Amino acid sequence: MKSSSLSIAGAWLFLAFNHALAAEPHSALHHAPAPDTRSVLALEPDERAMILEEMRMFLDGVHKMTGALAKPDMAAVAEIARSMGQIMVHEVPPALRAKLPQEFRQLGSSVHREFDQIALDAGSLQDVSHSLNQLSATLKKCVSCHATYQIQAPIHSDSH
Ligand code: HEC
Q: How does pLDDT run across 1-43, given as a tens digit for each residue? A: 444 455 555 554 455 545 554 555 555 555 788 899 999 999 9
Predicted TM-score (pTM) of this structure: 0.81
d(CA 54, CA 111): 12
Is 104 near ligand 1, meaning CB less than 6 Å away? yes
| Cα-to-centroid distance, 3 and ligand 1 (Å) | 48
- Ligand 1, residues 103, 146, 149, 152: which to mutate, most atoms within 8 A of Cβ? 146
Determine which residue's CA is closest to atom 39 belonging to ligand 1: 142
Taking Cα atoms as reference points, which of 124, 106, 126 lies closest to residue 114?
A: 106
Q: Are residues 44 and 67 in the same domain?
A: yes
Sign of the four-CA dihedral 87, 93, 96, 100: positive
Determine which residue's CA is closest to atom 8 belonging to ligand 1: 55
Domain that holds residue 18: 1-34
Q: Are residues 105 and 29 in the same domain?
A: no
Determine which residue's CA is closest to atom 32 belonging to ligand 1: 55
pLDDT tens digits for range 65-114: 999 999 999 999 999 999 999 998 877 788 998 999 999 999 999 999 99
Whether 137 is in a domain gets the answer: yes
Q: Are residues 52 and 30 in the same domain?
A: no
Task: State which ligand 1 atom lies nearest to the alpha carbon of 115.
Answer: 38
Q: Are residues 8 and 83 in the same domain?
A: no
Whether 159 is in a domain gets the answer: no
